[in-house]
Amino acid sequence: MANVVTDHQEIRKWAEQHGGKPAAVDRTHQGDDVGIIRIMFPKAPHSEHAHLVEISWDEFFKEFEERKLALLYDPKSLFSKIIGRDTAERREEGDSGAARRTASGDQGKADQGDGRSGERHSLKEREYRDSDGNIHHHTNEYMDQHGSKA
């Protein structure tokens, strides 16, 4: 069963017990903008961290709070996903598809965790693929600075 937490000490303890480190997606980590945050597990088999840059826990949690994020994780495995707190709250209320639609029910438009940016750029507009074909999303701030052709 997965847990949802926002407590910094609990997140750090779980991550470090599993060899996890705070990270940002390299294409979004520019200047003062930490960009998209992740927890990477560099020693895990099949770990895909080539496009992640290690950051400090302070940077990680600053971004985590600014974006009003939560960590969904399995205490017995390496599974984890950073989600918006609004998504976590809707899931707790029984909305199992919360991450796939907005509160109004619109499919595919959820801004998954970027609490400071509203709906300036849709999730689809912010999408990009890394060299391995994995899908990621730029922040709205990144899109404002670099345009939709980023």
Tokens 């400071």 identify what position?
116
Query: Six-digit token pair at 29?
Result: 């980590």
Give the whole-angstrom CA distance, residue 82 versus residue 71.
5
Closest-CA residue to 43 (of 20, 13, 73): 20
Q: Coil, strand, or helix at residue 4?
A: strand
Residues pairing with 47 in the sheet: none
Q: Of 134, 106, 137, whose CA–CA distance to 124 is shortest?
A: 137
Domain chopping of the chain, boundaries: 3-97+108-146
What pLDDT score does 59 carry? 93
Closest CA to 64 of 8, 120, 117, 125: 8
In whole angstroms, give the CA distance from residue 101 to residue 18.
31
pLDDT tens per residue, the chain (150 residues)?
A: 688 999 999 999 999 999 999 998 888 877 777 888 999 988 776 666 678 889 999 999 999 999 999 999 888 888 888 999 888 777 676 666 665 444 334 333 233 343 333 445 666 667 677 676 666 767 766 777 676 554
